[in-house]
Structure 1
Amino acid sequence: MGDMMLSIYGEAERHRREQERKREEQRQQYNAEVDRSLVLVNCAADYEIACRIRTYVSVMEKAHSNQDLSARASWARAKADWYDPTVAKEDELLGRREHEKSQESKGPQHKGYRW
């Protein structure tokens, strides 16, 4: 009878550990899926910003066709290319945009001064 109790206890413990392992595996898969989804949303947001900048530049050029906006338009289109994850242009001053990060954490942001 004692061996049977040890066997039942051992089986129950093995089952408990297996269930715990499965829960941990599911938790890791869930968290990985959340991370991938957030990267997708962050990249899509950057792409949307780039599209909005390009549209804005085109509208401004049409609205002010009597003015030479080529320098400003060129600068703005370069910023759109920096925002756009499909282009991912590196900016001379701002560097490479980390499209996968949240909007709050990737800037651009002013740099602080140390006194």
Structure 2
Amino acid sequence: MSIIHKVAAVQFEPAMFEKERNVARLLELCEQAAEAGAKLIVTPEMGTTGYCWFDRAEVAPFVETIPGPTTSRFAALASKHDCYIVVGMPEVDEDGIYFNSAVLIGPDGIVGG
């Protein structure tokens, strides 16, 4: 017998240069999906910041390490609802290299990125 899990794809158009507003709205939408029973919730590519950056300097104020402040907020939501959330966001690693990342966060924290 198969186990059926509900999946949600978040439809959202992030506003450029409005990271906090975008993250807050994504958290609301993920909360709604989780409350509706979704066990896997996927947000858009670069959903926390928007996608079309002119150059590296423009995105620099918005990149984060993983784990970091944004992933911690989504991890709390994943833990609360015992679900998995994929967050699209700009990442910076320890060498200062930027990535367009999709981070998988589970009920116990970050699973992969």
Name the TM tier (shorter chain): under 0.3
TM-score, normalization by structure 1: 0.24
TM-score, normalization by structure 2: 0.24
Structure with bigger strand share is: 2
Structure with bigger helix share is: 1
